[in-house]
Structure 1
């Protein structure tokens, strides 16, 4: 449901930069693809938490179209949504 596609971009100095087409605030990097995707999960959760704090609508993920995806931790996502719903308007 919340599988966000990522772009893995080879970095000039080695490793990979990770960006999210649907969440432009989430950018990270890693020494290899596995590390980059692990860091991407944290970057996504952090960026989405800013959406919640600012009471902005969470961006829905687009179709992966063959790209790798990152899914925020279900507990973290549930806490963010709960916080958003209970915040004063």
Structure 2
């Protein structure tokens, strides 16, 4: 269950059998996401990998990453890597602050702007510890979870 001021990056995934008997995985939130698998487990694992790639590409291009839609009509959910979800949260904060956000975050962290660029870059080499610290200084708490969601 999500609190009003929290977000769980669990995106609804629909699985539909294709003509070869494989399961096609798609997401209403990311029209560009399409992958498949021989069975449910493989299709969902591939969907999680594809979701992470799609979100990182959107971050790289400076595009918005939507909040997950309700699971209506979708039997499953997939999540990006924790590092990717943390970067989405940091990028949203930076976008809301506008010009000077990187400098502001650098000052809050007592680090250089190069460090902040690594934090925000989808391919950046920032550590998990650095990402969690950055979230903390902007008032967010990272709570990685693993959930098994049942079909309805």
Give the TM-score normalised by the residue count of structure 1. 0.84
Q: Contact 2:55/2:84 (CA < 8 Å) preserved in 1?
A: no
Structure 1 runs, 4 residues or longer, greater than 3 Å off: 79-87
The one of 47, 62, 71 equivalent to 1:55 is 62
The one of 62, 67, 73 equivalent to 2:81 is 73
Q: Which has the larger radius of gyration?
A: 2
Greater RCO (CA < 8 Å, at least 6 residues apart)? 1
3-state SS, counterpart of residue 63 of structure 1: coil
Q: Which has the higher helix share?
A: 2
What displacement does 1:81 show?
A: 5.1
CA distance in 1, matches of 2:91, 2:12: 25
Larger deviation, residues 50-59 vs 67-76: 67-76
Runs (5+) with no aligned partner, structure 2? 1-7, 95-116, 121-152
CA RMSD of aligned residues (A): 1.9
3-state SS, counterpart of residue 6 of structure 1: strand
Runs (5+) with no aligned partner, structure 1? none
Aligned length: 87
